[in-house]
Amino acid sequence: MNIALVTGSAGLIGSESVAFLADKFDLVIGIDNNLRQYFFGADGNTEWNRNRIEEAFGNYKHYAADIREVSQLEPIFKEYGTDIKMIIHAAAQPSHDWAAREPFTDFGVNAVGTLNMLEMTRLHAPEAVFIFTSTNKVYGDNPNYLPLVELETRWEIDENHPYFTNGIDENHSIDHTKHSIFGASKVAADIMVQEYGRYFGMKTGVFRGGCLTGPNHSGAQLHGFLAYLMKCAITGTHYTIFGYKGKQVRDNIHSHDLVNMFWHFYQNPRPGEVYNAGGGRFANCSMLEAIALCEQITGNKLSYSYSETNRIGDHIWYVSDLSKFKSHYPDWNWEYGLTETLTQIHDGIASRLGVKTV
């Protein structure tokens, strides 16, 4: 059998991976224990998404295992062994702010959970391609010390800087910087995934995501900014902007486009390689620009307020440079722009909430 294994399979990237891979593998195994609900409460509950993929894909098999516990992972790996050909490790604690509340839990999920997955793969499926969803937060707040210029609705990098054309590349330092507790636990995992590729020769790949988004995101205030913003615009829930005048810029990649990057890597893996993965210059926006788009799509005025206090370690301007990935995999390109992605997010949330669309 050819088997794909996806962790965080009821989350945004995990569920997109299941959908993408279901017709390419005999069996897709999902591991997800809905810890996102523990992190973020009802907004973070992913049960609806687990039910959706279980109903949609007959060759999907779900395990509610905890990646922090080898005792829960090992039986799965022992059962399927070398039939496992591809692993997408997307399970994570994804919030800056939440990580500081429970550093043990954050590090347990992000760092120890990743090591557990790597070691289980090395022992039971060493030829599998192992793909890790890392984050641009491994660069800490180093991007905030780039020469930034304040424009009417956004911060932007000085047009004379090398990053102006395509964004921030993989040579940007991850050292001597404030990461947030979340960023530090993801650095530990990121480096370990690279090391299993370089030291053990395993087919590992690291993808440092910008804002990952799409219609199946269980957006919450502390994570999933576009999905949560759209939910607020639809329901009339009050939204708070944290710092930087609402002009902070994020690049946004649709979950399908990211999983398509994974698929290209799987077909021709480069062990231990690292890629920035985001919307790049193709799809990025400031908070103010995102609010304007959400208002335009919903036809509603967003109720929001501004807090001067920015989130610790938050980026003022971050746009990913995907030139390296595109040079290695020239057949890949983005398919979903920002307006199309936000429209899909709107339609998905409105459908789940039973709200009539405009």
Cα–Cα distance measured from residue 287 to residue 266, given in angstroms and rounded to the nearest whole number? 34
How distant, in Å, are the alpha carbons of 145, 299, 336, 350 from that of 187? 20, 40, 28, 36
pLDDT value of residue 358:
54
Whether the CB-CB separation of 118 and 174 falls below 8 Å is answered with: no
Query: Looking at the predicted structure, is the pLDDT value of residue 252 above 90?
Result: yes
- Which is higher by pLDDT, 278 or 314? 278
How many Å from the N-terminal Cα to the C-terminal Cα in the chain? 47
Beta bridge partners of 135: 209
b/e sequence 230-254, b meaning 16+ C-beta within 10 Å: bbbbbeeeebebebbbbbbbbbbbb
Q: What is the mean pLDDT of residues 147-157?
A: 98
pLDDT value of residue 357:
59
pLDDT value of residue 3:
98
- Please tell me the pTM assigned to this model: 0.96
Task: Reduce the DSSP state of residue 66 to 3 states and report it.
Answer: coil
Predicted confidence band of residue 274 (pLDDT cuts 50, 70, 90): very high
Task: Reduce the DSSP state of residue 303 to 3 states and report it.
Answer: coil
Q: What is the mean pLDDT of residues 29-39?
A: 96
> Kindly report the CA angle at 29 between 28 and 33, in degrees rounded to 5?
140
pLDDT value of residue 220:
77
3-state secondary structure 305-320: EEECCCCCCCCCEECE
Whether the CB-CB separation of 71 and 114 falls below 8 Å is answered with: no
- Per DSSP bridges, beta strands 249-254 and 317-318 are parallel
Task: Reduce the DSSP state of residue 10 to 3 states and report it.
Answer: coil
Q: 307: how many CB neighbours lie within 10 A of its CB? A: 10
Cα–Cα distance measured from residue 234 to residue 65, given in angstroms and rounded to the nearest whole number? 34
